[in-house]
Amino acid sequence: MARVSLPITTDRLVLRSFRPGDEDDVFAYRSVASVVRYIPGEPKTREQVEDLVSERATAGRIDEQHPNLTLAVELDGRVIGDVLLLLAGPDGADGKQAEIGWVFAPDVAGNGYATEAARAITDVAFREVGVHRVWAELEPENTASARVCERLGMRREAVFVKGSWFKERWTDLAIYALLEDEWPTSAATSAPAP
């Protein structure tokens, strides 16, 4: 079992467990259709956001029985997004591969926060959880997320044409990935806060 040291700090951000009081910030971006366009599910209701915050309030442990780690991304006291680390592989959970994902408030787009948070969670996946491979899947038309993957040093391994039934339509699916031995030791931009 891996226990991730929380909070994770970067130059500008804090990645931490959700906590009571985060609901307004999370609802502000998780309820927007354009924000959730490329992630599973529909825009969240207030009640669904309250459930999400409550369920994720004890994050830190990640293992095959608890394969999902979703952390709030805080900037200057405001939750501006969240990141996902999911122990899995394209062939099922094996504890040696992890999928990463992210979602951010639209008013903070273009400032590098998604890349900074994704870099921190990728570093945690390799250094603390001990996975062999980190990957992300996205629609190729999601160019902002494709750029995040590229900034992390991920390669595009495949594009499955109309390979995903997503939100009531067939969509293309791109897979980006990075191996542990490709992750630079200098990439450690995050460290647990004291």
pLDDT at 49: 96
In-domain check, residue 31:
yes
pLDDT at 55: 86
pLDDT at 94: 66
Task: Report the CATH number at residue 122.
Answer: 3.40.630.30
Total domain count for the chain?
Answer: 1
In-domain check, residue 87:
yes
In-domain check, residue 170:
no
In-domain check, residue 75:
yes
In-domain check, residue 11:
yes
Q: How far apart are CA 130 and CA 2, in angstroms?
A: 8
pLDDT by 10-residue block (mean), the chain, 194 residues? 85 96 97 91 94 82 79 97 84 76 96 98 94 94 96 96 86 95 69 36
pLDDT at 167: 82
Instruction: Choose among 93, 88, 99, 96: nearest CA to 145.
Output: 99
Query: For residue 145, with 0-12 CB atoms within 10 Å meaning exposed, 13-18 middle and 19 or more buried, which class applies?
Result: buried
pLDDT at 187: 56
pLDDT at 191: 39
pLDDT at 88: 77
Peptide bond into 40 cis (omega under 30): no
Range of the domain at 75: 2-135
Q: How far apart are CA 189 and CA 8, in angstroms?
A: 10
In-domain check, residue 76:
yes
pLDDT at 190: 40
In-domain check, residue 151:
no
Concatenated DSSP letters of 11-41: SS-EEE---TT-HHHHHHHHT-TTTSTTSSS
Q: How far apart are CA 194 and CA 93, in angstroms?
A: 32
pLDDT at 189: 46
Torsion of CA 151, 154, 160, 162, to 10 degrees: -30
User: Three-class SS of residue 97?
Assistant: strand
